[in-house]
């Protein structure tokens, strides 16, 4: 009689008694193959894995009862299951409800192709697991864990997304807001953008490098205290080269993943004001020297210095933008951001196309505030690697707050505004204890 074959999927990097018990039971059914989900698949469905795929595979291989460990690319393991055609797929019964239900349905359909069977064992929650998971989350917020995660994301995903955060609460939104996909995975933002516009506006100040770095770093700290996702810091012009080197070291020390500096000098104004105000672009030579100084100052290989090109904003044209991109790459920039204030995205796409002829791997960043009609897939296909939603939480909060204030003024009481507000019971429990 040939031995039966069994398949189990594994995404956890914290292995507890519940897992090993189910592995032992599965191994009794036949030769057990475990599918270890890729880092990318895990990041798209829960938190970023603490251990890499290679490390997780090594641990799984050494558990008693495990025959083989294979790489599993998708949640439903279509490719791996069709190849193996196992007699049994084993899973805990906890996926009969909740976000994993569609994955279960897909696997049942797949098994019909060769007459395989789904075996579900009662899921045993391990009391230590939530403690360990909490510990894992806390580790993810530490500088050495957080700093390099943006680079890892660029290596895993063709397109990374970031949304602005300007305080702890918006940081929590960037960290926690998720919507389910039909295939059982979830959509969430990968990173946070510490916008100079939002950080300044939230303080009632103009976006002209008036809010000093001590204050900006206070915001970074507020956000870092309650989140784990990587931070992309809006460094404005980066200031004088002699100051920029200190900023680079500070950001690196606290665990920021990238700083984007724009090639302007003097009194910087917000880019979306374009040429309606006086703004001066830096020379290629001086800005390249600033990038070089920053790269020389950093102590790890993880922090990324991204050069932001303002040629389209300041109407200097496509060729100037491209020439600058080449020079900034030469100076050591780890990424290029191209900005535009036009609704029509054609100048952005033209730049992306020509930039990719020049360089096929350096991360390319866009901030689609004006050209908001473009979908992420179109950016990805154009060779963009990071899309930043730069001000949307702040811009949506302000009209909501204004409406509430006006409603209270109008009615001389708060009753009519209650419907716009989160219930009091909810707001006081919004922030969980540590
Ligand atoms: C910011 O968010 O502060 C930016 C992007 O720099 S923009 O406002 O479009 O210039
Ligand atoms: Mg800015």
CATH of the domain at 369: 3.20.20.60
Annotated catalytic residue, options 199, 207, 234, 282: 207
Pocket test of ligand 1: the residue of 339, 372, 389 to mutate, having most ligand atoms within 8 Å of its CB, is: 339
In the chain, % of residues over pLDDT 90:
78
Q: Using DSSP, state whether 48 is helix, strand or coil.
A: coil
Average predicted confidence (pLDDT) for the chain: 93
DSSP string, 277-322: S--EEPPHHHHHHHHHHHHHH-SSS--EEEEEE-TTTTT--HHHHH
Indicate whether residue 262 lines ligand 1 (CB < 6 A). no
CA 252 remoteness from chain centre: 18
Residues 287 and 368 in one domain: yes
Residues 283 and 152 in one domain: yes
Q: Note the pLDDT of residue 1.
A: 64
In a domain, 136, yes or no: no
Q: Using DSSP, state whether 185 is helix, strand or coil.
A: coil
* Domain finish residue from 131, 165, 199: 131
Q: Which of 192, 213, 214, 196 has the alpha carbon at shortest distance from 205?
A: 196
CATH of the domain at 92: 3.40.50.620
In a domain, 307, yes or no: yes
In a domain, 137, yes or no: no
* Domain finish residue from 79, 105, 131: 131
Indicate whether residue 237 lines ligand 1 (CB < 6 A). no
In a domain, 224, yes or no: yes
pLDDT (average), residues 6-15: 89
196 CA closest ligand 1 atom index = 3
Low-confidence winner among 7-21, 254-268, 349-363 (lowest mean pLDDT)? 7-21
Indicate whether residue 72 lines ligand 1 (CB < 6 A). no
Indicate whether residue 369 lines ligand 1 (CB < 6 A). yes
Q: Is 207 a catalytic residue?
A: yes
Strands (E) in 16-133, as ranges, are 31-37, 68-72, 88-92, 117-121
Residues 373 and 415 in one domain: no
Residues 65 and 115 in one domain: yes
Residue, of 416 and 276, whose pLDDT is higher: 416
Residues 167 and 288 in one domain: yes
User: Model confidence over 314-323: pLDDT tens digits?
Assistant: 999 999 999 9
The full 3-state SS of 135-176, as one line of letters, equals HHHHHHCCHHHHCCHHHHHHHHCCCEEEEECCCHHHHHHHHH
Residues 110 and 152 in one domain: no
Largest Cα separation within the chain, whole Å, is 83
| Residue 148 pLDDT level (bands cut at 50, 70, 90) | very high
Residues 20 and 166 in one domain: no
User: Model confidence over 346-380: pLDDT tens digits?
Assistant: 999 999 999 999 999 999 999 999 999 999 999 99
Indicate whether residue 196 lines ligand 1 (CB < 6 A). yes
Residues 106 and 178 in one domain: no
Residues 66 and 123 in one domain: yes
Low-confidence winner among 138-147, 325-334, 338-347 (lowest mean pLDDT)? 138-147
**Number of domains observed in the structure of the chain:** 3
Residues 378 and 320 in one domain: yes
In a domain, 87, yes or no: yes
In a domain, 148, yes or no: yes
In a domain, 67, yes or no: yes
Residues 103 and 222 in one domain: no
Q: Which residues lie at CB < 5 A from ion ligand 2?
A: 196-197, 234
Whether this prediction's pTM lies above 0.85 is answered by: yes
* Segments forming the whole domain that contains residue 417: 396-430
Residues 382 and 405 in one domain: no
Q: Note the pLDDT of residue 17.
A: 81
């Amino acid at each position: 009689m040939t031995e039966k074959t069994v398949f189990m999927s594994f995404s956890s990097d914290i292995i507890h008694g519940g897992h090993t018990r189910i592995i032992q039971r599965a191994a009794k059914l036949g030769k057990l193959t475990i599918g270890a989900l890729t880092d990318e698949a895990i990041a798209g469905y829960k938190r970023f894995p603490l251990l890499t795929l290679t490390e997780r595979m090594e641990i799984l291989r050494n558990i008693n009862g495990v025959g083989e460990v294979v790489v599993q690319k998708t949640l439903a393991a279509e490719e791996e299951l069709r190849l193996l055609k196992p007699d049994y797929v084993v899973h805990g019964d906890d996926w009969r409800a909740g976000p994993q239900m569609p994955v279960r349905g897909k696997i049942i359909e797949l098994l019909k192709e060769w007459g395989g069977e789904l075996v579900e064992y009662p899921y045993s929650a391990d009391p230590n697991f939530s403690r360990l998971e909490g510990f894992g989350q806390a580790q993810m917020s530490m500088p050495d864990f957080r700093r390099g995660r943006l680079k890892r994301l660029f290596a895993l995903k063709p397109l990374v997304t970031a949304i602005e955060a300007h305080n702890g609460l918006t940081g929590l939104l960037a960290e926690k807001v998720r919507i389910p996909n039909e295939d059982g995975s979830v959509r969430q933002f990968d990173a946070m953008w510490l916008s100079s516009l939002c950080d300044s506006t939230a303080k009632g100040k103009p976006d002209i490098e008036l809010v000093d770095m001590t204050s900006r770093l206070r915001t970074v700290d507020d956000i870092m205290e309650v989140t784990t996702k990587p931070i992309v810091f809006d460094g404005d012009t980066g200031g004088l080269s002699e100051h920029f080197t200190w900023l680079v070291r500070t950001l690196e020390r606290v665990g920021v993943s990238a700083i984007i500096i724009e090639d302007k000098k003097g009194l910087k104004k917000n880019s979306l004001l374009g040429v309606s105000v006086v703004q001066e672009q830096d020379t290629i030579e001086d800005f390249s020297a600033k990038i070089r100084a920053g790269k020389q100052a950093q102590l790890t290989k993880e922090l990324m210095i991204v050069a932001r090109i303002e040629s389209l904003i300041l109407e200097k044209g496509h060729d100037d933008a491209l020439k600058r991109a080449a020079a900034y790459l030469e100076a050591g920039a780890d990424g290029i951001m191209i900005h535009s204030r036009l609704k029509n995205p054609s100048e952005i796409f033209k730049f992306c196309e020509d930039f990719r002829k020049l360089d096929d791997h350096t991360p390319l960043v866009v901030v689609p505030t004006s050209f908001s009609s473009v979908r992420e897939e179109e950016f990805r296909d154009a060779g963009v690697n990071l899309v930043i939603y730069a001000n949307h939480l702040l811009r949506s909060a302000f009209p909501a707050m204004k409406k509430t204030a006006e409603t209270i003024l109008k009615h001389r009481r708060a009753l009519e505004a209650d419907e716009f507000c989160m219930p009091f019971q909810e707001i006081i429990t919004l922030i969980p204890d540590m």
